[in-house]
Amino acid sequence: AQTVTQSQPEMSVQEAETVTLSCTYDTSESDYYLFWYKQPPSRQMILVIRQEAYKQQNATENRFSVNFQKAAKSFSLKISDSQLGDAAMYFCAYRRGQGAQKLVFGQGTRLTINP
Amino acid sequence: GAVVSQHPSWVICKSGTSVKIECRSLDFQATTMFWYRQFPKQSLMLMATSNEGSKATYEQGVEKDKFLINHASLTLSTLTVTSAHPEDSSFYICSAVGGGPSYNEQFFGPGTRLTVL
């Protein structure tokens, strides 16, 4: 079974600084997707960024980028120029292959932004 | 686009009663919907996968007779918590898969907070 591990229950960063959230996963599949989701206090899940396993290039979305190390099964999220609105729970998630497959979530990291 | 709604957003019920939660894809057709449960300060745990026109697939440890799922149309799935007890109090989240160019992305509803007294 696939597992996703986030070893940092809480992280904090000064506003405008950069922070990196860690995620490791375990799978025997070769075709899969990795995601970072943000869950603010409203509890609405928001997709931050996705990475296809077959792509070597790391995904980026504005201030958000990932460091995808396939051999090490590591998928970290870097948030640059942190803003107060970035404060939330962040979940790393794994989905196998194609089609409507279920997501497997990590335990989550609570990110606090200090003004 | 790709909006998913849930109704109600919160509900309080007495122990022993049944509660129905609706999940709707508002602007796309969803052949597959997922139901998750989230306890305070914890992650999302998948309860079941709901496919339109067929029986839901439940995760190990989830009581199918307690958590009834019906996916009657391409835009609506319902979760009914039968004979609810205080331990069923939780935050329930649904997601819908739209297919197309969205990499089979899951679009999440805003969640339903259930409190059983």
> pLDDT tens digits, residue range A74-87?
999 999 999 999 99
DSSP characters over chain A:
--EEE---SEEEEETTS-EEE--EEE-S-SSEEEEEEEE-TT---EEEEEEETT--SPPEETTEEEEEETTTTEEEEEE-S--GGG-EEEEEEEEESSSSPPPEE---EEEEEE-
pLDDT score recorded for residue B104: 75
Strands B67-73 and B76-81, sheet pairing: antiparallel
CA A100/CA B84 separation, integer angstroms: 30
CA A90/CA A21 separation, integer angstroms: 8
Query: Rounded to a whole number, what is the distance in angstroms from the first to the last CA of chain B?
Result: 37
Chain A nearest CA to B104, separation (Å) = 6
- The percentage of chain B sitting over the pLDDT mark of 90, rounded to a whole number, equals 76
Asked if A43's CB is within 8 angstroms of B106's CB, the reply is: no
pLDDT band at A101 (very low <50, low <70, confident <90, very high): confident
> pLDDT tens digits, residue range B53-85?
888 999 999 999 999 999 989 999 999 999 999
> pLDDT tens digits, residue range A5-34?
999 999 999 999 999 999 999 999 999 999
pLDDT score recorded for residue B36: 97
Asked if A108's CB is within 8 angstroms of B43's CB, the reply is: yes
CA B77/CA B9 separation, integer angstroms: 15
pLDDT score recorded for residue A83: 97
Q: Which of A33, A98, A107 sits opposite B43 (nearest CB)?
A: A107
Chain A residues with CB inside 8 Å of B110's CB? 42-44
pLDDT band at B103 (very low <50, low <70, confident <90, very high): low
pLDDT band at B24 (very low <50, low <70, confident <90, very high): very high
Asked if A100's CB is within 8 angstroms of B32's CB, the reply is: yes
How many other β-carbons are positioned within 10 Å of the β-carbon of residue B12?
Answer: 12
Which residue of chain A comes nearest to B45, CA vs CA?
Answer: A105
CA B81/CA A49 separation, integer angstroms: 33
Asked if A33's CB is within 8 angstroms of B111's CB, the reply is: no
